[in-house]
Amino acid sequence: MSGPHRLPRELAPGIFWLGHCLKVSHHGRPLHGYNSMYLVAGDDCSMLVEAGHPQDLAVLEGQLDELLARGLPPLRYLFTTHTEAPHSSGMGRLLDRFPDTVVCGDTLDLHLVFPGHADRLAPMNPGDAIDLGGTQFVAVEPVIRDMPYTRWGFDTRRRVLFPGDGFAYSHYHEDGHCGCFAEEAPSLALPEMTALFAELALYWTQFVDLEPYIARLDELVFDELAVSMICPTHGLPIGDIAATLPRVRDGLRLGGAAVQLGGATF
């Protein structure tokens, strides 16, 4: 991974981005995507959002150790947006390494995957909150979801939204976008990259009217939560929501039109 910013990166006071690029080839160019984790530090304890993709676990665990060695509050919670492998595969290893932690969020079938840790699962429904000290981490409605029981998360002090697959897009490695905010990557073809991810991973978006979802997304982000930053699992963080969200909307619409267009080609 190369880019102007090394991970882990502090995106806002107490909000840290951990990640490692997954490289694939797309039309002959190296295309990167993230399976990110985020560390949310409160005054009393910390929470890790997502548990990592299997191939990234050694890198992610090293980044986590680096952050905790700085003296951040102890890790007490692991939040997973949903139980798909890129979001929860590292859960067992993390629970073994941090015996005082509890898993929250979408824990629907994790007792089957990690039966030795079934007593440390605490499912959260939208509106449920965990106090980290000076901030609460709240489970909120997942407007764009990958699985039926997906949960999004929201940090109340820094007003950061963690939407799992909700804002998913790749970036071209050669453009130096690794480790950047979306707004720090001016050549990022965000609508096309969002549409490509939606076509491949959020296939249902091609068979529904997306306008009610887009309207609900705007309502949640701007009216209900007044979000200041968006930290997706599979995309670059978004710091200027007013400028960048319209491009994400365009990408969802473009991906949703793929069936009528006979398949998207980018």
Strand order in the sheet with 121-123: 9-12, 15-18, 37-41, 46-49, 75-80, 102-105, 121-123
196 band by pLDDT with thresholds 50, 70 and 90: confident
- What would the pLDDT profile of 18-45 be if each residue is shown by its tens digit? 998 877 777 777 778 888 999 999 999 9
In sign, the C-alpha dihedral spanning 174, 20, 56, 136 is negative
Q: Which residue has the tokens 């296939």?
A: 203
Strand order in the sheet with 129-131: 129-131, 136-140, 152-155, 160-162, 229-230
Q: What is the mean pLDDT of the chain?
A: 90
The encoded tokens of residue 150 equal 């997906």
Indicate whether 216 pLDDT > 90: yes
Indicate whether 260 pLDDT > 60: no
Indicate whether 259 pLDDT > 60: no
Residue 154 in contact with residue 138, Cβ under 8 Å?
Answer: yes
The encoded tokens of residue 145 equal 């979801």
Strands (E), the chain: 9-12, 15-18, 21-26, 29-34, 37-41, 46-49, 75-80, 102-105, 121-123, 129-131, 136-140, 152-155, 160-162, 171-172, 229-230
How far, rounded to the nearest angstrom, does the alpha carbon of residue 131 sit from its chain's CA centroid? 21
Indicate whether 221 pLDDT > 50: yes
pLDDT of residue 154: 98
Which domains can be identified in the chain, with CATH numbers? 9-261 (3.60.15.10)
Q: What distances in angstroms separate CA 225 from CA 104, 153, 184, 237, one per listed residue? A: 21, 11, 24, 17
**HSE toward the beta carbon, residue 119, CA cutoff 13 A:** 3
- What would the pLDDT profile of 58-77 be if each residue is shown by its tens digit? 999 999 999 999 999 999 99
What amino acid is encoded at 35 in this protein?
A: N
262 band by pLDDT with thresholds 50, 70 and 90: very low
Indicate whether 139 pLDDT > 50: yes
**129 class by beta-carbon count within 10 Å (0-12 exposed, 13-18 middle, 19+ buried):** middle
Alpha helices in 91-240 (DSSP H): 91-97, 110-113, 190-201, 211-218
Would you call 35 helix, strand, or coil by DSSP?
coil
Residue 183 in contact with residue 240, Cβ under 8 Å?
Answer: yes
pTM, two decimals, is 0.93
